[in-house]
Amino acid sequence: MASRSSQINYAMGAAIVAALVVVLTFGMAAVVWAEAGSFWPTATDWAAVRFTLLQAVLSAGLSCLLAVPVARALARRYFVGRGILITLMGAPFLLPVIVAVLGLVIVFGRAGIVSDVMALFGLPPLSIYGLHGVLLAHVFFNLPLVTRMLLMGWQAIPSERFRLSASLGMTEGAVYRHLELPMLRSVLPGAAAVVFTICLTSFVVALTLGGGPGATTVELAIYKALRFDYEPARAAALSLLQFAMGAGEVALGWAVLGSTGFGVGLGRKVEMRPPRGWRFWVDILVIFIAASFLLLPLSAIVLRGIAGLADLPLGMIVALVRSFAVALTSTVLTVVAALLLALAVARKAKGAKLFDAVATLPLAVSGLVLGTGLFLTVQPYVRPEALALPVTVLVNALLSLPYVYSLLLPEARALHVDYDRLARSLALVGVARLRWVTLPRLARPLGFGAGLAASLSMGDLGVITLFAGESGTTLPLYVHRLMGAYRMEAAAGAALVLVVFSFALFVLFDGMGRRVAT
Amino acid sequence: MEYLQARPVLSQLEKDMKTSILALGFVSVVAGFPCAAVAKTPVLNVLTYDSFNEEWGAGPSVEKAFEASCSCDLKFVSGGSAATMVARVQMEGKSSDIDVVLGLDTNMTAAATASGLFAPHGQTWKNDLPVSFSDPYFVPYDWGWLAFVYNKNKLSDVPKTFEELAASDIKIVIEDPRSSAPGLGLLLWIKTIYGDKAKEIWTGLADNIVTVTPSWAGAYGMFTEGEVDMVLSYTTSPAYHLIAENDDTKAAAVFDEGHYMQIEVAGKLAATDQPELADQFLAFIGSDAFQSVITKNWAYPAVTPSVGLPEGFDRFRPAKSLILSATDAVAVRDGALAEWQAVLAK
């Protein structure tokens, strides 16, 4: 019999996390706003809003649309190297933006590999600059993420349901309608919301591949307002606009969110009957195209990086260690916070809707406004450099919270529906339940989420630029500094080190999760 | 069965927690240590842009040279990119610990002066700039000519004017004037030469511009990858490749109409708690010790050092230097920016 003290109050924990998130997001926007007067957006700002919405909607739609066949093919086909491929597919998401853009240019640019191949057939070089280039880059970053989310969705369908459908002689279409479609309806809205909000704050990618000021996003307008003109009120107003767009998407996601209601299974491996004949070849083709699309730019980056390794200054090692410490610390914070929120929401604790909204909030918040708000808050009291690393840890944890949360939530919901009654009838509560039911059942999304959080945090540059002093350089900032000082080769080498180590962290956590789950 | 495997997760989580706590402790010790150790020697905080203080850049050499004579601790504070430093100073406001700001250019000094946060420098040393320059608040430390850089082996028909460039099918990449100092410089360069006709030049250039990048680094990276024929950079950029990479293939196109200058300056904040040390540093900028190492920033020294200029610095010398005064630059900026945006956003 569990005593009261072993109960865990998830609602209380979630409330504390939620309060912190609100302070960091709205609070910091308010601090920036308070710096100066009022502001109403101009015509160029509205143009930026239109372009931002357009590219974010298209990017989210395309990423989700393309991820369905890829994830489906991967879910039902087994081949040598499948595990490695799935893991490698996480890598584009981890690349520092400026490095990823160069990788895409090397492959798809005017002088890129694809253009070279096309020239063999007498075709003109490819131009990736324009809306289509922005979409290409955003799909490159986000297709793997959505694919992984969907793959987990497929794996979460109890294998007993697939067996039942087989014994009922259901056609592929019927299996799709009764099993896969409900799963897609429960996973895709969240995935689309995540991609949409990521693209909402895109700025380097959008401008560089968008081909000019026509591809100005709201985030770039915020950048200009904050860092170029220093008009904090304008920046705060723009960030509210950006936030409204994100909130609109989250609300839309709620409206279409479906519940799977699959009920409990024994947690065996997915047993989809892989269809034979032409469908086999379609699946192979889908996997091949997706893999080459994602892996070619990655290989280009790796090759460039190897050439630059010999050039690396020693200071890089210190920056690497610092990045590691930042990544690990913020991962722990994120995972604990996301778990608290997801469990509270899944249990429909008081304020669940609010927690759900708050958990997605950081996605729509401009990292620039957040960093500036924190800077303005601490600067009168402490030298910002002294807080560079703690602030980076905090902001990275905050910014990766929505990803981990959206990975955990669907499975936490399923877990609650499937196991709550059983656990209660066994009087399994508190720490014991966390240890024997919750953590093992959530191991897969926890591992993936922790991996994602750790590697995002390794690669993030958001606020460190405002706070970094002489001693606070992290590896991504180091890469930028090398590039800014002509040292492109060394920068490529340092970027490779960054990618390899972020990826190693990702694989470590993700692998841990997968090992425990199977 | 799977429940039995819960333990490894937990023990691993515990381990991670421990390492993270250790890491956090380690980090705070590392971060706090320098403050404690140097409490007795005076500290001069110099705000500068990121790439200035890169390990093999000018920053560490300047620091070493100044500390040899000042019995103080010179600390560089990273202020992001050059274009963002005025905003940074405004964010810091009066409570700032920054003593000296190094890295503004003359297109931004009017805003900096107007903020009222800077104090007159009182320096009397003479500079060797090709145009006469003196400002009560800012001393120049280095300067450069903006130029389009190309690869001699790949481009033979090199344009001599913006009109020739616009008429050609040469592909270029430029930096965004809203986020980059050279990008803003190009805007003013074209405005200075063409005035009311600037819009036509931009219209002509539109099909040459492959894309616009937020930062110099992004643009230059695209150039070294071979994605474009020319990149907006400086006349001294080829010297970097020559000296650091022993690569003689890069050149800067010299335009007949003249080249816009970027003069990089330093100034002292009015609220500094180390006014003498700040003055000493501003005087040091004019000295041979500073000027002989500043070429590591790949720009011309403001005062020609006794050792002369490095190899390759004299290769691409425009006949005519263009520059707007700080007040003119501010007056022209917004209109030129709107024009640029209107033409290129199509």
For B140-180, the DSSP string reads: EEEEEEEEEEEETTT--S--SSHHHHHHS---EEEE-TTT-
What is the DSSP secondary-structure string of A462-514?
A: TTHHHH--SS---HHHHHHHHHHTT-HHHHHHHHHHHHHHHHHHHHHHHHHHH
Interface test with B, best of A486, A510, A514 (most B CBs within 10 A): A486
Rounded-to-integer distance, Cα B177 and Cα B155, Å: 26
The more confidently predicted of residues A514 and B166 is B166
B44-75: per-residue pLDDT in tens? Answer: 999 998 888 777 778 889 999 999 988 899 99
Query: With 70 as the cut, is the pLDDT of residue A499 above it?
Result: yes
With 50 as the cut, is the pLDDT of residue A370 above it? yes
B37 lies in a domain? no
In the prediction, which pLDDT does B39 show?
52
Answer yes or no: is B129 within a domain.
yes
CB atoms within 10 A of CB B115: 16
All structural domains of chain A: 4-37+44-262+310-517 (1.10.3720.10)
Question: Which chain A residue is nearest to residue B221, measuring alpha carbons?
Answer: A488
Q: Is B97 on the interface with A (CB under 8 A)?
A: yes
pLDDT at B27 over 60: no
Cβ separation B23–A480 shorter than 8 A: no
Cα separation of A407 and B268, whole Å?
Answer: 51
pLDDT at B11 over 70: no
| DSSP E strand stretches across A328-464 | none
* Residues B243 and B167 occupy one common structural domain: yes
Asked if residues A183 and A414 have their Cβ atoms less than 8 Å apart, the reply is no
Q: Which of A435, A469, A472 sits opposite B6 (nearest CB)?
A: A435
What is the pLDDT at residue B20?
A: 46
Distance of alpha carbon B27 from alpha carbon A473, whole angstroms? 12
**What three-state secondary structure class fits A271?**
coil
Segment 47-66 of chain A within 8 Å of chain B by CB: 47
Same domain, B162 and B236: yes
Per-residue DSSP letter, B292:
T
Q: Please tell me the number of Cα atoms within 13 Å of B81 on its side-chain side.
A: 24
**Of residues B276 and A485, more confidently modeled:** B276
Q: Give Cα separations from A201 to A364, A513, A514, B84, B301 (angstroms).
A: 7, 30, 31, 19, 40
pLDDT at B13 over 90: no
A136's tokens: 């290409």
Contacts of A436 in chain B (CB under 8 A): 3, 6
pLDDT of B23 over the 90 cut? no
Partner-chain contact B83 A208, CB within 8 Å: no
Which member of B23, B217, B344 has the closest CB to residue A483?
Answer: B217
Instruction: Answer yes or no: do B203 and B243 share one domain.
Output: yes
Q: Which residue has the higher pLDDT, A112 or B39?
A: A112
For A230, which of B78, B86, B244 is closest by C-beta distance? Answer: B86
Q: Which of B57, B211, B345 sits opposite A129 (nearest CB)?
A: B211
Q: Which residue has the higher pLDDT, A250 or B186?
A: B186
Position B15 scores a pLDDT of 43
If 0-12 CB within 10 Å is exposed, 13-18 middle and 19+ buried, where does residue B338 land?
exposed
Residue-wise pLDDT tens digits, A177-230? 877 888 888 888 888 888 888 888 888 888 888 888 888 888 888 888 877 888
Pairing of strands B73-78, B43-48: parallel
Residue (of A453, A447, A332, A351) closest to A401 by Cα position = A453
* Residue B203 domain flag: yes
Check CB contact of B39 with chain A, cutoff 8 Å. Answer: no
* pLDDT at position A498 over 70: yes
Q: Tell me what pLDDT residue B322 has.
A: 94
Are B56 and A487 a contacting pair at CB < 8 A?
yes
Q: CA-to-CA distance for A175 and A158, rounded, in angstroms?
A: 13
Same domain, B208 and B125: no
Q: What is the pLDDT of residues B299-315, one digit of tens each?
A: 999 999 999 998 889 88
Residues B124 and B171 in one domain: no
Q: Are residues B239 and B266 in the same domain?
A: no
Q: Which residue of A has its CA nearest to B299?
A: A485
Chain A residue with Cα closest to B57: A485
- Decide if B16 is inside a domain: no
B86/A contact by beta carbon, under 8 A: yes
Query: Other C-beta atoms within 10 Å of A450: how many?
Result: 28
Query: What pLDDT does residue A270 have?
Result: 60
Question: Which residues 139-178 of B have a C-beta within 8 angstroms of A?
Answer: 171, 176, 178
Q: How many domains does chain B have?
A: 2
Q: Do B161 and B257 have their domain in common?
A: yes
**pTM of the model as a whole:** 0.83
Whether residue A305 lies within 8 A of chain B, CB to CB, comes out as no
From chain B, the residues in CB contact with A102 under 8 A are 221-222, 225
Of the candidates A324, A386, A465, which has its C-beta nearest B31's C-beta?
A386
| A212 in contact with B, Cβ within 8 Å | yes
| pLDDT reported for residue A389 | 80
Chain A residues touching residue B24 (CB < 8 angstroms): 325, 329, 390, 393
Is it the case that residue A1 has pLDDT exceeding 70? no
Contacts of A44 in chain B (CB under 8 A): 341
User: B87 touching A, CB under 8 A?
Assistant: yes
Shortest CA distance to A98 belongs to which of A204, A240, A253? Answer: A204
So what's the pLDDT on residue A372?
A: 78
The whole-angstrom distance between B193's CA and the closest CA on chain A is 23
Q: Which residue bears the tokens 């028909």? A: B157
Mean pLDDT of chain B: 86
H/E element holding A374? helix A367-378
Bigger pLDDT: A36 or A103?
Answer: A103
pLDDT number for residue A33: 72
Query: Tokens in use for A134?
Result: 């922005």
Q: Taking CA atoms, what residue in B is nearest to A97? A: B218
* B287 shares a domain with B271: yes
- B232 lies in a domain? yes
Residue A351 has pLDDT above 80, yes or no: no
The alpha-helical segments, DSSP class H, found in B195-325 are 198-205, 216-224, 237-245, 275-285, 288-291
Do B344 and A212 count as a contact with CB atoms less than 8 A apart? yes
Q: What number of C-beta contacts closer than 8 Å exist between A and B? A: 221
Mean pLDDT of B190-209: 95
Q: Taking CB atoms and an 8 Å limit, are A212 and B221 in contact across chains?
A: no
pLDDT band at A317 (very low <50, low <70, confident <90, very high): confident
Percent of chain B clearing pLDDT 90 (strictly above): 64
Range of the domain at B129: 43-143+262-301
A210 at interface of B, judged by CB pairs closer than 8 A: yes
pLDDT of A3 above 60: no
- Residues facing B145 on adjacent strands: B261
Nearest chain B residue to A48 by CA: give it: B345
Q: β-strands B259-269, B100-105: how paired?
A: antiparallel
Lowest mean pLDDT among A68-72, A75-79, A119-123, A255-259: A255-259
**Rounded-to-integer distance, Cα B229 and Cα B240, Å:** 18
Same domain assignment for residues B77 and B126: yes
The Cα–Cα gap between A381 and A86 comes to: 47
CB contact under 8 Å between A210 and B171, yes or no, is no
The closest alpha carbon to B145, from B309, B325, B286, B322, belongs to: B322
Option in B6, B55, B298 nearest A315 (CB) = B55
Mean pLDDT (whole number) for B96-124: 91
| Residue A132 burial by Cβ neighbours in a 10 Å radius (0-12, 13-18, 19+) | middle
Q: Which residues contact A25 (CB under 8 A, 6 or more apart)?
A: A361, A362, A365, A370, A398
pLDDT computed for residue B8 by the predictor: 38
Model confidence over B113-151: pLDDT tens digits?
999 999 999 999 999 999 999 999 999 999 999 999 999
Token pair in block for residue A301:
């980056």
> Does residue B35 lie in a domain region?
no
B23:A329 CB<8 A: yes
Asked if residue B1 has pLDDT above 70, the reply is: no
Q: Which two tokens stand for residue B294?
A: 């500043």
For residues A486 and A466, the model is more confident at A486
- Look at residues A319, A316, A481, A460 and name the one whose alpha carbon lies nearest to residue A394: A460
- Contact between B50 and A481 under an 8 Å Cβ cutoff? The reply is yes
Per-residue burial over B231-255, b = 16 or more CB atoms within 10 Å of its CB, e = otherwise? bbbbbbbbbbbbbeeeeeebbbbbb
The answer to whether residues B224 and B183 belong to one domain is: yes
At residue A469, the pLDDT reads 61
B137 and B163 inside one domain: no
Looking up residue B136, the CATH number of its domain turns out to be 3.40.190.10
Q: Does B114 touch chain A (CB under 8 A)?
A: no
Among residues A436, A452, A329, A402, the alpha carbon closest in space to that of B16 is found at: A329
User: How far apart are the C-alpha atoms of B85 and B108, rounded to whole Å?
Assistant: 9
Residue B189 has pLDDT above 70, yes or no: yes
Helix (H) or strand (E) holding B264: strand B259-269
Verify whether the Cβ–Cβ distance A106 to B2 is below 8 Å.
no
The gap between the terminal CA atoms of chain B, to the nearest Å, is 63
Is B5 within a domain? no
Residues B256 and B219 in one domain: yes
A517 class by beta-carbon count within 10 Å (0-12 exposed, 13-18 middle, 19+ buried)? buried
Mean pLDDT for the stretch of residues A507-511: 87
B111 strand-pairing partners: none
For an interface test with B, give the residue of A113, A114, A228, A512 to mutate (most B CBs within 10 A).
A228
More confident residue, A406 or B124: B124
Residue A263 scores a pLDDT above 80: no
How confident is the model over A451-471, as pLDDT tens digits?
Answer: 888 888 887 666 666 666 666
